Structure 1
Amino acid sequence: MNLRTTLKTYASIFIMLIAFGLHAQNDFQGEAVYMSKTTVDLDNFGGRELSPERKKMIMERMKSMLEKTFILTFNKTESMYKEDEALESPAQGGMRMMGGMGSNGPVYKNVKTNEYLQDQEFFGKQFLINDSLPKYEWKMTGETKQIGQYMCFKATAVKKVDAADWTNMRRRDRDEDKKKDDEKEDAEVQKDSTKKEEFKDPFDEIEIPEEIEITAWYTMQIPVSAGPGEYWGLPGLILEINSGRTTILCTKITLNPENKKEIKKPTKGKEVGREEYQDIVKKKMEEMRAMFRARRGGRRN
Structure 2
Amino acid sequence: MKKIYFFLTLVFTGIQVQAQKDFQGMAVYESKTQAPKFEGMRANRDITPEMQKNMEERMKQMLEKTFILNFDKSSSIYKEEEKLDAPGQQGGMRIMMNSFMGGGGTFYKDVKAKTYTVDKEFMGKEFLVVDSLPKLNWKLEQETKQIGGYTCYKATAVKEASKTDFRNLRPKNNDDKKPEDKKEDPKKTSGETKTNFQDNFELPKEIVITAWYSPEIPINQGPENYWGLPGLILEVNDGRTTILCSKIVLNAKDKATIKAPTKGKVISQKDYDETVIKKMEEFREMNRGRDGGPVMIRR
- Common topology (TM > 0.5): yes
User: How do residues 210-249 of structure 1 correspond to structure 2 at under 5 angstroms?
Assistant: 210-249=205-244
- Output one character per residue of 1:247-272: Cα deviation in whole Å (capped at 9) or x when no partner: 10000000001111110210011100
CA separation in 1, counterparts of 2:252 and 2:265? 34
SS in 2 for 1:97: helix
The amino acid across from 2:115 in the alignment is: E
Identify the residue that residue 40 of structure 1 maps to in structure 2.
35
Identify the residue that residue 136 of structure 1 maps to in structure 2.
136
Does residue 156 of structure 2 align to residue 156 of structure 1? yes
Identify the residue that residue 95 of structure 2 maps to in structure 1.
97
Tell me the C-alpha RMSD between the 2 structures. Answer: 2.8
Percent of paired sites with the same residue: 49
Shift of 1:92: 6.2
Identify the residue that residue 172 of structure 1 maps to in structure 2.
172
Does residue 66 of structure 2 align to residue 69 of structure 1? yes
Q: TM-score, normalised by structure 1?
A: 0.84
CA separation in 1, counterparts of 2:42 and 2:146? 37
Shift of 1:56: 3.4
The amino acid across from 1:89 in the alignment is: D
Match among 69, 77, 82 for residue 80 of structure 1: 77
Shift of 1:177: 3.3
Does residue 78 of structure 2 align to residue 56 of structure 1? no
Does residue 272 of structure 2 align to residue 277 of structure 1? yes
Distance 1:100 1:293, change over 3 A: farther
Which gives a bigger RCO, structure 1 or 2 (Cα 8 Å, sep 6+)? Answer: 2
Identify the residue that residue 122 of structure 1 maps to in structure 2.
122
Unaligned runs of 5+ in 2: 187-193, 292-299
| Residues 136 and 157, structure 2, Cα contact 8 Å, conserved in 1 | yes
CA separation in 1, counterparts of 2:207 and 2:50? 33
Distance 1:231 1:111, change over 3 A: same
Shift of 1:242: 0.5
The amino acid across from 1:159 in the alignment is: K
CA separation in 2, counterparts of 1:147 and 1:51? 42
CA separation in 2, counterparts of 1:92 and 1:238? 33
CA separation in 2, counterparts of 1:66 and 1:100? 9
SS in 2 for 1:290: helix
Distance 1:34 1:101, change over 3 A: closer
Shift of 1:61: 1.4
The amino acid across from 1:96 in the alignment is: R
Distance 1:104 1:279, change over 3 A: same
Shift of 1:15: 0.3
SS in 2 for 1:104: coil
